[in-house]
Structures are given as C-alpha cells and as structure tokens.
Copies of this chain bind each other. A is one copy, B any other.
C-alpha cells in the first residue's frame, strides 16, 4: 500500500514507512524498540537458511525434528530461528503436504452451554492425536453454517465435525463426499459420514421410568417442538408410557428447546385437569421455563409436581436449580467424534459408522414421590 523500504539491522528487520514521521516521543528513547507497524515482512525459511549459513532443506529438516542433522548445524539453525522470530507458514506446508493436521468443528450455537463439554472432549482428544482444532459457527443460522463449513473445507482441514448441525441432510451428505465427516447429535444414515448420537428414546424411557418408580402415573411431556432430537424424545416418552401401561395418561404439549416455550408448555399443562404429577421436559432450558411457570402458579417442586430435564447442562447442575436431568456423555461423545475422524483420515476406514451412546439419569432435587401416594 504505502511506500516503504526495508532495513536489515542486527537481528531484526524493520519496516520503516516513509510517510508518517511523527514525533515518536510517546515511548522509550527509540533504543531497541522503534515504533513500527506490526505488519513487517515475516521471515521465511530462506531467511533462516541464509542467516544460519545452510540450505533451506537443512532448515526444514531441523524444524521437523529430523535426527540426521549435525549438532552444530542444528544449533545454528535454531539460533537463527530464535533471532528472526521465525514461525513456519502452515499454508505453504499444507499446500505441499496435502495434509494440514487440522480438524474443523462447526458448532451450530457456540453460546449454548450444551456444547461446552462436547467442545472440551473434541479439543482434548485432538490434542492427544496431535491435531489442531479450528472452531467455527453458523450462529444458529443455516446459511451461515454452510458458509462456515465451506470456509473450513477451502482451508483443507483433514476432517470435519458438525456438532448439532441445523442444515439439511442432503447438504450434510454432500459435504461428506468432500472430506471425512462426523456428525454429532444428529443421526446420519448415509454412506458418507459417521455419526455419534445419544439414544434419545432410551433417555426418554429412563425419565418416564424414574417417575413411575416414584409412584407417578400422570406423567406429562413438554416436547422440543421442531428441534433436532425432539421427535425421538417425544416418541420415546410415548412408547415408555405404553410399556408401563400408562397410555391413558399420555399427555404431550408443545414446547421448544429454550426457556420461553417451556414456560408456555407448562402453562398449557396447568390448564389441564387433573394436573399431571410429573413433567418430563424436552431439555434443561425447557424444564427451567416450566419450573418458573409452576412456581409462579404457587406449586412447589417437587412436592406438588416432579420435573425432569434433558442434557444435564451446567445450568441443571447449579445448586440453586438442581434439576433432575438425563445426562448425555458429552465429553466422551466429543472424543469419539475425533476418533472416528482419525480412523478415516489415518487408518483408511471407509465404511460408515454410526454410534449411539446411552444416556443416564442424574437425580437431583426436582423429582420426588408422587403427592398423596397415587392418582
């Protein structure tokens, strides 16, 4: 952009703009720290080679930790690297290696605490396998999610993990043809991707059975509306009720995966008679919304109504909330996703694999015995 010239001086390369020669008095007396923009030309492997008096290939060997380099040369190279502040260019390396050792992770909603553990599991496992993780998000919007995936693919990540994607199945399948792909929290069934999901119907069943074991029969469900997994949880609820011979008590109202619809669902339940004595909500936030509605109407939890959530997020664990919930092993699921990718990338697996992990019950303070001992 601006005219510049370059000066080599000692161990540093300085970028001295010709324009813009202001007093520069604001800092130290211009000793070893001349003011300059931080966009100076970055040293390349060639700069290091020249400085160390060797060839670029030799520098490359040292950087990659190759054993067959003489100690003296290794020392010289390392010194030059330090002096110049050399940092290898991952793009150049990736270009020639056709391999980046990067996995891209697209999280549908980074601000949802639900993904915290998943992300943590992914991060840790990737590190063990010496992969770098790049996160991106569609910020809850389908089109942005696609953009995020495209960017990662253009960067040539070695593999892709989609955590709770909001996009269409066909789109997902298309990406699966472009790179090793693992989908989390949404079961895929195609030949092009792996998936790691939790057994939603099973989780719903566990929830219902927990209520039943406490003597409840009028167990209602506030569903997740159009949310992914909502249908499976609803069906699981209905099947479990049938299996327990409680089909005449089946009661499903519309909710959603956030607080507000949960609240509305609960209000709807409050208008029914007889009132249910236990409510299984589609997820924790939904349950929280219901909790408010119930408490505001003067009911006590769990004395009057038992309440369960799903996902066992950090909010459920807050002592002030202490919500009984169905736990998904999120950290493990994150780790598994990375393992699946690794198998495809480094072990050459090509057959799709679809894992379903089991949810479990975490009993806290919002569930208790049925009031009065029965219906």
Chain A residues with a Cβ under 8 A of chain B: 1-2, 17, 20, 26-27, 33, 35-39, 42, 85, 87-92, 94-95, 100, 102, 110-113, 115-117, 119-120, 123-124, 127, 132-137, 139, 144, 150-151, 153-156, 176-181, 191-192, 259, 263, 288-289, 291-292, 295, 314-315, 318-321, 344, 348, 350
Contacts and interface: CB of A to CB of B under 8 A. Distances in A.
Contacts of A89: 95, 154, 156
A155 B91 contact: yes
Contacts of A90: 91, 151, 154-156
Contacts of A88: 154
Contacts of A321: 318, 320-321
Looking at chain A's contact residues, the main secondary structure is mixed
A38 B180 contact: yes
Contact of A318 (B133, B156, B176, B259): B259
A297 to B, nearest CB: 13
A39 B155 contact: no
A87 B38 contact: no
A3 to B, nearest CB: 12
18 contacts: A17-B348, A35-B191, A36-B350, A37-B344, A38-B178, A88-B154, A89-B156, A90-B91, A90-B154, A90-B156, A92-B95, A102-B151, A111-B113, A111-B119, A288-B320, A292-B319, A295-B320, A315-B315
